[in-house]
Chain A
Amino acid sequence: MQWETVIGLEIHAQLATKSKIFSGASTAYGAEPNTQACAVDLALPGTLPVLNEQAVRFAVKFGLAIGAHIAPYSVFARKNYFYPDLPKGYQTSQFDKPIVGLGEIDIEVAGEVKTIGITRAHLEEDAGKSLHEDYQGMTGVDLNRAGTPLLEIVSEPDMRSSAEAVAYVKKIHTLVQYLGICDGSMQEGSFRCDVNVSVRPMGQEEFGTRAEIKNLNSFRFIEKGIAHEVERQIDVIESGGKVAQETRLYDSNKDETRSMRSKEEANDYRYFPCPDLLPVEITAELLDEMRADLPELPEVKKQRFLEQYKLSEYDADVLTTQRAIADYYEDAVSFSDGETKLVANWVMGELSANLNQYSLDVAASPLGAERLGGLVKRIADQTISGKIAKQVFEFLWNSEVTADEVIEREGLKQMSDSGELGKIIDQLMADNPTQVEQFRGGKTKVLGFFVGSIMKKTQGKANPQEVNKLLQEKLKE
């Protein structure tokens, strides 16, 4: 039997506000447990939530970017359940009146463009964290994260393969960072997703029973988790069983999913409108203001890069995946006197390799766009060769110097003087008459020997074009 996979996703993007969604406590990551939980976050009696306007604006921004309907009137609801890391005993979320309605986004897989529907996106607060280790039979609770604003982005079940799912997640990941509404860090948990997976016989219209996979905190795990789950479901059905509607946890160590809880055990959350918060009203004026304020989105930026910088499709794609990289690229170009292709090569090559090696974001790069642009400028005007430029790059990466300073200090300036180079070539020809004969006899391959020897002699500083030109002239004499 041929099976078709059906995938829908719920993405939780932590909104990059300074303070929490309903309190003034900081949202900064990594503080000592419970040092960023105020009376409201601790749900002390008598405390009340006050909505963070920035979180609302961020949600609206996202909605506008996916062309969604923004609800003029949305409502916070209480989702009731007991858990130690949920201080109020309910999560304040949005239920039947979310702030962002139906929208869509295009993904591209193997050259095919596909439109994925986004059902809704709503605002909610995050819970705290339960710490099960180090407490000898007890559980610790850290409420620093409690009340952190989240935007839950729910897709339609429009994806038909793990590749499509990953493309969709990457697309949203890029978008939220572009909009500046989420830092996108998957390690720190500020961008997480739950995947709903089901299978059905090819051609069948009705959906199969779905399982929800949680804890997929990297693109690779999303891909592997889905692949594994699809295989499991097909196995279950083909061996005569039925897929259970349940929540499953992906274990990256064992590369498997396992059951967390079944639907029968699922809570009745008893949602009802939160009486402590007024409905959120979005005026037409605010929408206009936010629309005008939208940054250039990835698709548009890519098109512009193609036209303005004459980049290849591939380069434009890579450089616009992260807004910070794109900004860096554009800065570097401006400092390089417009060397668009060369800068692209250096940003995607040497710079990216170094950032990866040290696990740094481009924002934290020790080498800024201005100095990289300065380096590229010197390659372009032939002050240094590409090879020497790699040495210079190392200096730039490791200290605050500029390319010009390094070239000057280290004497790395390219030798282009034909008189000086001519002397070296003359000497070399005199020392190697056999090779000269061979060349003149038609064995042009020996040219490499001469070039290599000159480079060695000049410690790589000789201008290769000039060397070639002079060699050709002198050998043919």
Chain B
Amino acid sequence: MYNKSLKELSNSLQNKDISSVELSQYFLNRIKHFDGELNSVITSNEEAALVAAAEADKCIQSGNAGLLTGIPLLHKDIFCTQGLRTSCGSKMLDNFIAPYTATAVGKLEQAGAVMLGKTNMDEFAMGSSNETSFYGGVKNPWDLNTVPGGSSGGSAAAVAARLVPIASGTDTGGSIRQPAAFCGITGIKPTYGRVSRYGMIAFASSLDQAGTFAKSAEDAAIMLQAMSGFDEKDSTSVDKPVDDLLAHLGDSIKGLTVGLPKEFFTDDLDDSIRETIETAIDAIQSAGANIKEISLPNINLSVPAYYVVAPAECSANLSRFDGVRYGYRCDSPKDLEDLYKRSRGEGFGDEVKRRIMMGAYVLSAGYYDAYYKKAQQVRRLIKNDFVEAFKGVDIIASPTAPSVAFSAGEKKDDPVSMYLSDIFTIGVNLAGLPGMSVPCGFIDKKPVGLQLIGNYFEEAKLLNVAHQYQQLTDWHLAVPAGFEQEA
């Protein structure tokens, strides 16, 4: 059951082989059984989920069901869910219950999906290992000593352990793709503006984009289809019809051109990663695609540019957490300044504070031009590089991360090395392009992710390349040891 595709699950539901209540209960049991160790789910929605599942069953009875009707899922705890705590992985919002639901979550609810709970994450989505969460780290189901990646580590680990068929995530600098790679599952971040950011707690507004985790490109496409679309509540969402993502999954990729940025395949690249990726590229080539070397001349500036732009935006985005209206407030503040200092000092963790300070610094008088403005210029160059590259290719491929999952604690006190684990993914956010990670092999029993990058709003083409690859391989079907058993 746990390894079934969404189409198979949907068929079982519509054929009444199983009810949504039973299916939801089945995955709730898996969460109860396995998650004590993983710590991927931080808030359960069991009671409301079973009510929603019963509703879904009625909908199925009446013959109005879609592919997601009655399908259980988990949401990253960055999405506001009316009536259910939304903590964003922070002590600051440990007591926060939003009076509204994020648009992306609402759309999935509309489609009939059943939310089982909320997943763990790096605090305010700042991290690449899920170690900055107020609720503790998440373990990687493939090796419990390693991290699942971040910041959407909870969602990635939950789908990898088959605790749910699909889960939502957000990606600001690689927060969907890197954990998808570390956990051996499929994750996609669509074009910036494709999914509404309304109700998604902002980290860096110009980079944040919601997306999906699934076992396969097909499942990711089904979920993304339901989440996508213009939202008048988000001025940066794009008013453009959403392509039928499933309709193109059968297309041949013969004649398609896949570009390999030479800057991503330098001598610095780990040999075993390179071999794994090259094998994957060979498979895509065997399906008829042309492979071509390309250049993204400014891509090596993406990490420094990102670590100016993202903290700058976050420094302002997180100012609202001031202990005045909601969220954490320190005990008996003696005056306003004390209220601010202690509420924020006690409510935020170290990584969040570090980024707020960096952001305030790069925006301050006398430094703005040298840092923020310069970083925006670099960002434009990086975007232009991609735009140029896509004139000659359909898809760009690379490793998702420079390594497989690293050990817990390994990089915790070395922020720069942690930041560099997103070196292949960050440029995509700076450019606002769609990108995904698909499992393409193992090194030391740890999954490796192949990153595929598409042109603006070409999610359909991107997902199809991933889907075609998954027709030729079965890395995406591998289940981590210990999690194949039934709960």
Q: Knowing A45-B88, A276-B205 touch, does A89 contact B313 (C-beta < 8 A)?
A: no
Q: Knowing A141-B324, A276-B205 touch, does A82 contact B319 (C-beta < 8 A)?
A: yes
Report how far A50 CA is from B236 CA in the complex, Å: 9
- Which of A46, A50, A276 has a CB less than 8 Å from the CB of B98? A46
Report how far A139 CA is from B324 CA in the complex, Å: 11
Least Cβ distance of A46 to chain B in Å?
A: 4
Q: Which of A49, A78, A271 has the most CB of B within 10 A?
A: A78
B200 neighbours in A (Cβ, 8 Å): 46
Which residue of chain B has the shortest Cβ distance to A143 in the bound complex? Answer: B325
Contact (Cβ within 8 A) B233 A48: yes
Contact (Cβ within 8 A) A90 B319: yes
Report how far A82 CA is from B360 CA in the complex, Å: 13
A47 neighbours in B (Cβ, 8 Å): 100, 198-199
- Which of A42, A80, A272 has a CB less than 8 Å from the CB of B319? A80
Which residue of chain A has the shortest Cβ distance to B208 in the bound complex? Answer: A275
- B316 contacts the other chain (Cβ, under 8 Å)? yes
Number of interface residues of A (CB under 8 A): 29
Number of A-B contacts (CB under 8 A): 106
Report how far A271 CA is from B100 CA in the complex, Å: 30
- B340 contacts the other chain (Cβ, under 8 Å)? yes
Contact (Cβ within 8 A) A277 B102: no
Which residue of chain A has the shortest Cβ distance to B318 in the bound complex? Answer: A89
- Which of A45, A49, A51, A277 has a CB less than 8 Å from the CB of B320? A45
Report how far A50 CA is from B232 CA in the complex, Å: 8
Report how far A276 CA is from B319 CA in the complex, Å: 15
Dominant secondary structure at the B interface: loop
Contact (Cβ within 8 A) A46 B319: no
- Which of B99, B236, B324, B363 has a CB less than 8 Å from the CB of A276? B236
- Which of B79, B312, B320 has a CB less than 8 Å from the CB of A87? B320
Least Cβ distance of B273 to chain A in Å?
A: 33
Least Cβ distance of A330 to chain B in Å?
A: 41
Complex interface residues of chain A between 5 and 51 (CB less than 8 A to chain B): 39, 42-51
- B202 contacts the other chain (Cβ, under 8 Å)? yes
Least Cβ distance of B295 to chain A in Å?
A: 29
A50 neighbours in B (Cβ, 8 Å): 232-235
Report how far A426 CA is from B377 CA in the complex, Å: 101
Residues of B within 8 A of A (CB): 79-80, 86, 88, 93, 96, 98-100, 102, 197-202, 204-206, 232-236, 312-313, 315-316, 318-322, 324-326, 336, 340, 360, 363-365, 368, 372
21 sampled A-B residue pairs with Cβ under 8 A: A42-B325, A42-B326, A44-B325, A45-B86, A45-B88, A45-B96, A45-B98, A45-B202, A47-B199, A48-B236, A80-B319, A88-B319, A88-B320, A90-B319, A141-B324, A268-B365, A270-B368, A272-B312, A272-B313, A272-B363, A276-B202
Using A43-B320, A45-B96, A271-B363 as known contacts, list a sample of 16 further A-B pairs with CB atoms less than 8 Å apart, ordered by residue number in A.
A39-B100, A45-B88, A45-B202, A46-B199, A78-B316, A80-B315, A84-B324, A87-B325, A88-B316, A88-B320, A89-B318, A139-B336, A270-B364, A275-B206, A276-B202, A278-B235
